[in-house]
Amino acid sequence: MIKIENLVKRYGKLLALDHLNLEIEEGEIYGLLGPNGSGKTTAISCMLALLKYDKGTISIFGEEMSPDNYGIKQQIGIVLQNVAVFDELTVYENIDYFCGLYVKNSQERKKLVAEAIEFVGLEEYIKMRPKKLSGGLLRRLNIACGIAHKPRLIIMDEPTVAVDPQSRNRILEGIQELNRQGSTIIYTSHYMEEVEQICTKIAIMDHGRSIAVGTKEELKSMIKTGETVTIEAVVLGTDQIKDIRLLPHVFDVKYDEQVLTVRCTGAKHNLIRILNYLQENEISFGRVFSELPTLNDVFLEITGKELRD
């Protein structure tokens, strides 16, 4: 459905996209995950022909994307990072206006606008101006403006930034519902939990490149980490840290401000082995956590830095 090959975009000396390659199939919720400045928004802007790029090709629905290809644009809906609505218009007028950029027939548009309002749950606010809406409601309005014309492809650029957890969950559920209704979705975020929760395929981006692509299971299977054990309020000496590092399946130990973080490969009983060692050596400790690998671990192992650095 979308094929991006060797995409290069420079801002002066800064290389924003470095031979980016992506392939997105119809029906997917495709997540672009990466820290701020990794090139997610630039990639989306190039896909939408909002930016000229230096090299590479972008094809959508089998056609080459260009600023004048209104046939492709007709089938795309966008939900941008910053809320893009008119303060002067009401909720209804805003959705109607942006839907009108795609749907000329007023009767059909009326129906679509009503459906979009119901979809995002803004029925009670249709006569209100955006300035009177809360942050969460505003984000929902922003989404309604982008999806009212029922596009085949929806591109969402960090639509949950600065949204309260309740509204965020509602938005994420809504995105999954849109996908069930038949839309392909490209979703960018630097919140790995969101991407893990909704995306069927994920591309991890860093420095303008796609460094790993796959389902979340495939991505996690690419790395050594099978379990991360964290123990708080523990006092250890250098020899004891060395001993822990020598325990079976342990491949990385970090000790900082009385917090011990141990990364182990996917074998069983890692937590028991570590706790046994502490008990045998009469070392007291506070809270204990055991986590399965996250996308942050994937990012950490591949790039050597945290996703949110």
Partner 1 sequence: MTVFKGYMKIVKANIGLILMYLVIFLGITMMIQAVTKDTGGGSYSAESVQIGIVDEDGGVLAEGVKDYLGQFHDVTLMENDKEKLQESLFYRNLEYIVKIPGGFEEKCLEDGEKLEVTKVPGSYTSFYVDQQITSFLNSVKTYYAAGYSASDAVDSALDRQDASIKMMDINGNAGEIPGYTYYYRYIPYLLLCVLCYVLGNILSAFRKGDIPKRMQASAVSSRRQNLEALLAAGILGGALWAVCIAGGFLLYGKELLKSSSIPYYLINSLALLFVVLALAYLVGMLTSNTNALNGIVNTISLGMCFLSGVFVPLDILNKEVKTVAQFLPIYWYEKVNDTLSQFGNITGSVRAEVLQSIGIQLVFAAAIVCVAMALSKKKRIAA
- Rounded to the nearest 5 percent, the helix, strand and coil shares of the chain are 35, 25, 35
Among residues 107 and 284, whose Cβ is nearest to partner 1? 107
| Residue 128 to residue 218: CA distance in whole angstroms | 45
Q: What is the DSSP string of 141-193?
A: HHHHHHHTT--SEEEEESTTTT--HHHHHHHHHHHHHHHHTT-EEEEEES-HH
Among residues 108 and 232, whose Cβ is nearest to partner 1? 108
The least CB distance from residue 20 to partner 1, in Å, is 19
Among residues 94 and 270, whose Cβ is nearest to partner 1? 94
The least CB distance from residue 35 to partner 1, in Å, is 21
User: Backbone dihedral region of 208: left (phi > 0), alpha (psi from -120 to 50 degrees) or beta?
Assistant: left
The least CB distance from residue 213 to partner 1, in Å, is 25
The least CB distance from residue 66 to partner 1, in Å, is 12
Which chain residues interact with partner 1 by CB under 8 A? Answer: 45, 48-52, 67-68, 70, 73-74, 76, 78, 80-89, 93, 97-98, 100-102, 104, 145-146
The least CB distance from residue 87 to partner 1, in Å, is 7
Give the β-pairing of 184-189 and 153-157: parallel
Among residues 154 and 195, whose Cβ is nearest to partner 1? 154
Among residues 100 and 214, whose Cβ is nearest to partner 1? 100
Among residues 4 and 145, whose Cβ is nearest to partner 1? 145
The least CB distance from residue 74 to partner 1, in Å, is 4
Among residues 74 and 221, whose Cβ is nearest to partner 1? 74
Alpha helices in the chain (DSSP H): 40-47, 70-73, 91-100, 106-120, 135-147, 165-180, 192-198, 216-221, 238-245, 270-280, 295-303
Residue pair 91/99 in contact (Cβ under 8 Å)? The answer is no
The least CB distance from residue 244 to partner 1, in Å, is 50
231, 288, 291 from 254: Cα distances, Å: 11, 15, 15
Bridge-partner residues for 286, per DSSP? Answer: none
Among residues 73 and 220, whose Cβ is nearest to partner 1? 73
Collapsing DSSP to helix, strand or coil, 67 comes out as: coil
Q: Rounded to a whole number, what is the distance in angstroms from the first to the last CA of the chain?
A: 33
Residue pair 68/145 in contact (Cβ under 8 Å)? The answer is no
The least CB distance from residue 73 to partner 1, in Å, is 5
